[in-house]
């Protein structure tokens, strides 16, 4: 059994490198594009940053969870591919 709350959506990115994670903060704005909805840009905010790294293909990466803001009425499904843009420029 899976219990879910469809009142809001979250995106989890697993490829934020150790070089960029230091420039990401809770509450930081994020843009999300869903592969299945190519002309739609969703806004979101960083809601969680993993404190523990994962080794992925030789890179040290961190999981980041994003709360998606404007997803009402979109045909979103669990497991869809998302592209996350977190501005880490100085």
Sign of CA dihedral 63, 78, 9, 74: positive
Mean pLDDT, residues 63-85 taken together = 89
- CATH H-level, domain 9-73+80-85: superfamily: Efflux pump adaptor protein, beta barrel domain (2.40.30.170)
pLDDT digits (tens, 9 = 90+) for 39-63: 899 999 999 999 999 998 888 999 9
55 CB-contact burial (10 Å; exposed 0-12 / middle 13-18 / buried 19+): exposed
Contacts of 89 (CB under 8 A, 6+ apart): none
Question: What residue spans of the chain are helical by DSSP H?
Answer: 18-21
pLDDT digits (tens, 9 = 90+) for 9-19: 899 999 899 99
Look at the pTM and tell me if it is higher than 0.75.
yes
Average pLDDT, the chain: 89
State the Cα–Cα distance between residues 86 and 77, nearest whole angstrom. Answer: 22
């Amino acid at each position: 059994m899976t219990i879910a709350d469809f009142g809001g959506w979250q995106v989890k990115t697993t490829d934020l490198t150790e070089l960029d994670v230091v420039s990401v903060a809770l509450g930081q704005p994020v843009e999300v594009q869903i592969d299945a909805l190519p002309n739609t840009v969703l806004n979101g905010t960083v809601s969680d940053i993993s404190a523990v790294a994962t080794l992925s293909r030789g890179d040290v990466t961190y999981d980041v969870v994003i709360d998606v803001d404007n997803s009402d009425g979109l045909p979103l499904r669990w497991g869809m591919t998302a592209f996350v843009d977190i501005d880490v420029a100085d």
